[in-house]
Amino acid sequence: MESKSEKLWGLLNEGFRSGLITSYQMTKGFGRVAESMEDLRLDVPDAEKQFGYYIEKAKLTGWLDSSFGIGPTTKSSYVKENGTNI
């Protein structure tokens, strides 16, 4: 039986392969997930780990540029200095 993540990955793959989803749309979608990571962690403690796995998989598949990553512009990855976000 296929897992939920395999089904979702298959749907995204079919959309990308058939041209319904563009690289730009994939990048925007993954970026939106990255921006909401702080909230996602409340419900899914290992969300960041899972998301990192899917980012790497999407890069290998050619959906995302190799430079894509969770960077300092996303809420979830701000570096904490003296207990405050910078």
Residue 69 scores a pLDDT above 80: no
Domain boundaries, the chain: 21-67
Average pLDDT over residues 45-51: 92
Q: What pTM did the predictor assign?
A: 0.72
Cβ neighbours around 5 below 10 Å, total? 11
Dist CA 12 CA 71 (whole Å): 23
Average pLDDT over residues 39-47: 93
Structure confidence at residue 45 (pLDDT) = 92
Beta-carbon contacts of 14 under 8 Å, excluding residues fewer than 6 positions away, are 20
Mean pLDDT of all residues belonging to the chain: 82
Residue 1 scores a pLDDT above 90: no
Q: Which long-range contacts (CB under 8 A, 24 or more apart) does 40-48 make?
A: 41/76, 48/76
Beta strands in the chain (DSSP E): 80-81, 84-85
